[in-house]
Copies of this chain bind each other. A is one copy, B any other.
Amino acid sequence: MNISAIQKCINPDCGSEFDCGQAMFKCPDCGDLLDILYDWDKTTVPAKMSDFANRWATRNNPLDFSGVWRFRELLNFCEDKHRVTVGEGQTLLQQNDELAAFLGMDKGSLHLEYEGMNPSGSFKDNGMTAAFSHAVMVGAKSCACASTGNTSAAVALYAHACGMKCTVFIGSGRIAFGKLSQAMDYGANTIQIQGDFDDCMKQVQEVCTRLNIYLLNSLNPFRLEGQKTIMYRIIEGLGWEVPDWIIVPGGNLGNSSAFGKAFFELKELGLIDRIPRLAIINAAGADTLSYLVNERGLKWNGGNVNMKEVQALYADFTARHFSPHTIASAIEISRPVNLKKCLRSIDICDGIVRKVTDEQICDAKALVGRYGMGCEPASAATIAGLRDMLADGTIGKSERVACVLTGHLLKDPDKTVSYHKNSEGEFSNPPVESANDIEEIIKHIV
């Protein structure tokens, strides 16, 4: 399989093109986002999506076992010898008729894609397996990211898997050390900077430039290529059919950006005949996308995004010293780096944006536990958004919906315990106390 990809600036006024053999995450000409563009040799792309099922039979080949690389014709930016895999993407698409019934949906309508089943416990592994393959391709020996959550865990895991040095930057102040347990355990060099997350982001970029370190923050377009495969696996799980709706939490907007690109490419290749609608769910305390799209009318507009609206909002954030705040920490982001690409996805998928409160998120998370396998808070924004969209008729009860659950239940067990011990939640399930007496115990058996 020959490499058929280039990097191209998404700004239509620039449009600069570069080959993939460079570690470069912003357009050096205009500073805008870069995109991976393919010139597929159609003879090497399968004729239909279901042809990928042939790889199931050869799962003793690690690239066929991987839930990312078994679709490698559609991520054809490097040679097989550079592809890094740790067995990611053994995720579960669960048809959940019990939750569907609870929500008033028809049987067979609701599917949950549990990305927490990835090795590091979140969807990030999909992107990292791709970005680290690019890092190996360009000969990187050291990598870094700024993150206090799922990203650092995934980066640290893939770094040691391909023998790369790894540095993770965290801020001082109220740091949730539990979130860093994986980065430390996976051997990352963890540097705590006296400053906040924005300081870390600034410094990590400077450090990477000066020391020639490979940067794995959300700008990296190769991460998005890997995240496309979440959509391929949903189609695979539906017997190679396309759902009516994809629902995804919106934070830095990497997933929504990747999903739109995935469907655009599949349609272009003739591998699907229609594109599902995309619903992106913000937390109310971090609702930049929802505000810009729903209240300011921001659109992709062929790449000519009205950035003045965005800059005005961000200037207002700065003036007000605004920090986003939500229990769904994985989407607690007010300046999403992939905003423009996400607007493109909304354009491609006839997408919509909603926002939900923390209370809605916590109740929805409890529903995913009670009827599914559980998830971390940010993931549950999807179900909270679905409840709203069913209530107002945006989504019909017989439409086929796939919700992406981005992170493992055990990423944030404290929030689970505190929700259930507090009886005020809509679905709280507190323990009951009983004397060590068989007659009293039996009274508590429901």
Could you list which residues of chain A lie within 8 angstroms of chain B, going by C-beta atoms? 53, 56-60, 86-87, 90, 92, 94, 98, 114, 117, 119-121, 142, 157, 160, 163, 165, 167, 170, 172, 177-178, 180-182, 184-195, 199, 203, 206-207, 210-211, 213, 239, 366, 369-371, 373-374, 408-411, 413-414, 416-417, 420-421, 429-436, 438, 441-442, 444-446
Whether B185 and A366, one on each chain, are in contact in the complex, defined by CB atoms closer than 8 angstroms, is: yes
Pick from B192, B211, B420: contact of A445, CB under 8 Å:
B211
Whether B431 and A170, one on each chain, are in contact in the complex, defined by CB atoms closer than 8 angstroms, is: yes
CB distance from A383 to the nearest CB of B (A): 14
Whether B60 and A57, one on each chain, are in contact in the complex, defined by CB atoms closer than 8 angstroms, is: no
Whether B442 and A211, one on each chain, are in contact in the complex, defined by CB atoms closer than 8 angstroms, is: yes
The answer to whether A60 and B239 touch (CB under 8 A), given A86-B373, A191-B434, is yes
Pick from B182, B185, B431, B436: contact of A195, CB under 8 Å:
B436
Whether A192 and B409, one on each chain, are in contact in the complex, defined by CB atoms closer than 8 angstroms, is: no
Residues of B within 8 Å of A413, CB to CB, are 178, 181-182, 410
When C-beta atoms are compared, the residue in chain B nearest to A114 turns out to be B119
| Oligomer copy total | 2
Whether A420 and B57, one on each chain, are in contact in the complex, defined by CB atoms closer than 8 angstroms, is: no
Pick from B213, B370, B417, B435: contact of A194, CB under 8 Å:
B435
Residues of B within 8 Å of A441, CB to CB, are 191, 193, 203, 207
Complex Cα distance, B90 from A102, in Å, reads 28
When C-beta atoms are compared, the residue in chain B nearest to A96 turns out to be B161
Residues of B within 8 Å of A181, CB to CB, are 409-410, 413-414, 416-417, 420
Complex Cα distance, B267 from A437, in Å, reads 48
Pick from B56, B94, B369: contact of A186, CB under 8 Å:
B369
Pick from B207, B432, B433: contact of A438, CB under 8 Å:
B207
Whether B370 and A445, one on each chain, are in contact in the complex, defined by CB atoms closer than 8 angstroms, is: no
CB distance from A199 to the nearest CB of B (A): 5
Residues of B within 8 Å of A409, CB to CB, are 121, 181-182, 185
Residues of B within 8 Å of A190, CB to CB, are 429-432
